[in-house]
Amino acid sequence: MEPLYGPIRDYAWGSRSAIALLQGREVPSVGPEAELWLGAHPGAPARVDRAGQRVSLCDLVRDEPDQWLGQRVSERFGDRLPFLLKVLAADAPLSLQAHPDAEQARVGYAAEAGRPEEQRNYSDPHHKPELLVALTPFEALCGFRDPSLSAEALAAFGVPELTPVVTALRAGPAGLRTAVRTLLGWPVARRHELLATVLASSADGPDAELTRRLAQAYPGDPGALVALLLHHVRLVPGEAIWMPAGNLHAYLSGCGVEIMAASDNVLRGGLTPKRVDVDELLRVLRFEVLDDPVRAAQPVGPGVDWWPVPVDDFALHRVRVDPAVPSVTLPLPGPRVVLCAGGSITVDDGAGALTMVSGEAAIGTAAGEPLRIDGAGLAYVATSGLR
The catalytic site residues sit at 268
Up-side HSE of residue 216: CA atoms within 13 Å toward CB? 8
Angle, in degrees to the nearest 10, between helices 163-170 and 147-155: 160
DSSP of 161-185, one letter per residue? GGHHHHHHHHT-GGGHHHHHHHHHT
User: What single-letter amino acid sits at 104?
Assistant: Q
> 3-state class of 356 per DSSP?
strand
CB 257 within 8 A of CB 341: yes
How far apart, in whole angstroms, are the C-alpha atoms of residue 267 and residue 256?
22
Work out the number of other CB atoms within 10 angstroms of the CB of residue 254. Answer: 22
- For residue 282, the 8-state DSSP code is H
182 near 168, Cβ under 8 Å?
yes
Residues 6+ apart with CB under 8 A from 103: none
How far apart CA 338 and CA 349 sit, in angstroms, is: 11
Distance CA 142, CA 290 (A): 8
Return the SS3 of 304: strand
DSSP 228: G
Q: Quick one: how many helices (H) and strands (E) in the chain? A: 12, 22
| φ, ψ at 8 (rounded to 5°) | -105, 125
